Structure 1
Amino acid sequence: MFETERLVLRPFVESDLDHLLRMWNQPEVRKGTSNDYLVPLSPTFKETLRGWVDKALLYVIITLKDSGEFVGNLTINMGSSKNRDGTLGITLLQEHWGKGYGEETLRTILDHCFKACALHRITLDVFAGNERAVNLYRKLGFVEEGRRREGVLIDGAWQDVIGMGVLDREWAELYWVKPASV
């Protein structure tokens, strides 16, 4: 379990499935995270969610420290253990957007993944129209590594899918290495 100033990042428990299903049924959440058709997901989708938990290197539920309220989830999957390449996914309930919870979670988890899990790189895909997420990833040190032009159809318009990544040494330079005082 991890704690930040305002959040608890804890392991998944079975009762989280209801919260996860509710989050994945929010249309705006799905538009920003999924390239599947936007249709209501039935309770059977909980089995898919459970499978995601089981396959992840790291899967945390994001909750508010003061109330325990569900905020979202974050997952790191191992693309290649030999290459120490983790793939990041983070999803928040829409009512928690714009409050800094994503940044707070990402700083904590990425720091842990580079230090304790010895990952070399962390990659992600983000839809170009999700400007808030793109800007956050850039702010944290992710760089654009590729772009699938018109890779996803959202609300009848094509959007690019941007591949981004950050390396362990880049993260260290940004967050661990302090310049020597003169």
Structure 2
Amino acid sequence: MFEGRLVRLRALRADDLGAQLRWRNDPEVAHWATGGHPHFGPVSREAVERFHEARLREDPRDGATFTVEELDGGRPIGMADYRDLDAFAGRATVGITIGERDRWGGGHGSEALRLLLGHLFGACRLRRVELDTWSGNERALRAFRRLGFVEEGRRRAAVRVGEEWYDTVEFGLLREDWAASGALLQQP
């Protein structure tokens, strides 16, 4: 478990299933999390159960999914994960979704991602962390840049949202950039 000022990242539990089902079927959450990609929502309870069960069985040497939980009250508000962990290359891909809309824009997602990065660069000794989002997700783009991520490339017109096409924006963060940014010192 990793704890900040607003949130903690804790292991996924069976009782998180109801919140996951609600988030996966919230059209606005799906819109911002995936650009409205149909693999995110709407989904059946059975599909979410399969996803949830697979996450509960993850081998942390390959990846892990955490519930983002508010410190004040313990309410699950989202999920954060790392995947595609390559210990030899020292890299992993991360993701974050805040599913509770009343917690958007309050720093909860940024803090959750900062906690996850602290773990990956610290305990896991990774050299590099990657993530991506779609170019219309301005809030995520700003948050990633504030955390020190550097835009490394774009896949032009790779995401369709409604009738419009957006770029996939690819980001990377190196351990030395993370350390130089003072982000490690910001860990609670």
Q: TM-score, normalised by structure 2?
A: 0.87
Q: Which residue of 2 aligns with 1:48?
A: 51
Aligned counterparts of 1:28 and 1:159: Cα–Cα separation in 2 = 17
Q: 2:3 is matched with which residue?
A: 3
Please give the secondary structure, in 2, of the residue aligned with 1:15. Answer: helix
1:169 aligns with 2:176: yes
The aligned residue for residue 19 of structure 2 is 19
Supply the distance in 1 between the matched residues of 2:164 and 2:134 (Cα, whole angstroms). 12
Normalized against structure 1, the TM-score is what? 0.90
Shift of 1:58: 2.8
1:122 has 2:125 as partner: no
Tell me if the contact between 2:8 and 2:69 (Cα under 8 Å) persists in the aligned partners. Answer: yes
Question: Hey, what does 1:155 align to over in structure 2?
Answer: 162
Which consecutive residues of structure 2, in runs of 5 or more, have no partner in the other structure? none
Moved over 3 A (4+): 52-56
**2:30 touches 2:41 (CA, 8 Å); kept in 1?**
no
Report 1 or 2 for greater relative contact order, CA contacts < 8 Å, sequence distance ≥ 6. 2
Which is worse superposed, 95-104 or 34-43? 34-43
Q: Which runs of 5+ in 1 are unaligned?
A: none
Q: 1:14 to 1:39 in 2, by over 3 A?
A: closer
CA–CA separation in structure 1 for the residues paired with 2:113 and 2:41: 29
Aligned-residue sequence identity (percent) comes to 34
Partner of 1:29: 29
The equivalent of 1:103 in structure 2 is: 110
2:64 and 2:81 in contact (8 A); partners too: yes
Point out the structure with max Rg over C-alpha.
1
DSSP 3-state at the match of 2:45: coil
State the Cα RMSD in Å: 1.9
